[in-house]
Chains A and B, each alone.
Chain A
């Protein structure tokens, strides 16, 4: 069965500092992996995704993530945090077989950016 673990429910960084949000997954089949962002009182927005091919994936707003099969990880990074990055971030893995995909979400990491 597929699962996702996000380490750290709250992360604080200073403006301009590196952002690192951790995600580890478990999957019995090659996974599709996703990061979503949620701003207050809004739905989730897709940041980036890994399906096949290049293991370093670039997304919107300067975020990127690297798929590391040996470590079963898909950590999200951004070189320099902005105040506007303050939000909740969710990692997700696909589960299911052809035609019946659904996603399993982690419990989320709330990012706080300090001035």
Chain B
């Protein structure tokens, strides 16, 4: 079973920040938080990941709470092309007998509106 909880859907106005929440209250100390998105009819696309610290890249920012039980993915200026299903996943790193596999939950369908 997926170890994360996300709202099933969210709307965001184009040009505004999209804040997608994720609960992972049972996360273990060495599990990372990953975010992927799936645009209709395409394979999932990696966005960002983090362990404890907040992370930022060219696509998004990831804010992880101090207790690591929840996180928020921030798309700073959402565009229509950001309309997709966003998946929050906790993952053990590859190695030490771990395959690094991803287990997907149901995700959040983000609809960016003009």
A binds B: no
Chain A positions within 8 Å of B, measured between CB atoms, are: none
Chain B positions within 8 Å of A, measured between CB atoms, are: none
